[in-house]
């Protein structure tokens, strides 16, 4: 029997934590981590204690909203760190204390794309940059879509003020990922996962409350 391929939550003891930076969305922390073996890192074969700085992030959700014609809803947004307007699936932070992730995803879909969905499934989970951040992101598949009534739509501000919604055939979105035209990680993961899951008759989809060990507050500190 082939051994199951899966990541394993296996925290090492944090012997000291320092706050390096506190920001509006995320913080930067410095952990001294005991990797075992004693001594300081670099002393022969002994792992010992190492220092790691990383972004402490609340986590996020993203939504592949797929209509009856197999088109995915993409929104454009200016992303200042990369000085670019990116086409993205609707997404947002998990910054509401105690909010179920799928509820946050539904909120983001309504706010960014003016859409509501009757059918929700978990499509994929990923860690955006595990070498430098604890940000965990869950991608949902949303189907059976309908528009938010005009009078109930969210008023978008800042970078979202000029946001447009574009409906793109899923196959075209996959091609744009593979030819290097799309770069947002949630979009890349989401459209490729949707394409693969559709090819398998959607058998890979998981329920909205599927275990998510990497969501902030779930991992041991």
Phi first, then psi: what are they for 159, rounded to 5°? -65, -20
Q: Which residue, chain included where needed, has tokens 């909203």?
A: 65
Give 76's contacts (C-beta < 8 A, 6+ positions apart): 85, 86, 87, 88, 163, 164, 166
Helix (H, G, I), strand (E, B) or coil at 189: helix
Active site residue 160: yes
Burial class from Cβ neighbours inside 10 Å (0-12, 13-18, 19+) for residue 200 reads: exposed
Catalytic residue ranges = 160
């Amino acid at each position: 029997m082939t051994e199951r391929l899966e990541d394993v939550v296996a925290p090492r003891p944090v012997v000291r934590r320092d706050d390096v930076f506190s920001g509006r969305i995320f913080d930067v922390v410095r952990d001294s981590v005991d990797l075992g073996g004693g001594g300081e890192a670099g002393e022969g074969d002994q792992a010992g204690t190492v220092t790691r700085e990383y972004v402490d992030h609340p986590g996020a959700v993203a939504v592949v909203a797929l209509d009856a014609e197999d088109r995915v809803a993409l929104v454009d947004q200016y992303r200042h760190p990369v000085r670019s307007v990116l086409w993205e699936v609707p997404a947002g932070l998990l910054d509401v204390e105690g909010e179920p992730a799928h509820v946050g995803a539904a909120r983001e879909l309504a706010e960014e794309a003016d859409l509501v969905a009757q059918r929700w499934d978990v499509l994929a989970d990923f860690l955006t940059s595990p070498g430098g951040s604890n940000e965990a992101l869950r991608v949902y598949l949303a189907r059976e879509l309908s528009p938010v009534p005009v009078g109930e739509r969210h008023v978008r501000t800042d970078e979202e003020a000029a946001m447009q919604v574009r409906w793109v055939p899923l196959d075209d979105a996959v091609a744009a990922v593979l030819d290097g035209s799309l770069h947002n990680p949630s979009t890349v993961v989401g459209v490729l996962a949707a394409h693969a899951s559709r090819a398998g008759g959607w058998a890979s989809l998981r329920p909205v409350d599927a275990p998510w060990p990497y969501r902030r507050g779930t991992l041991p500190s």
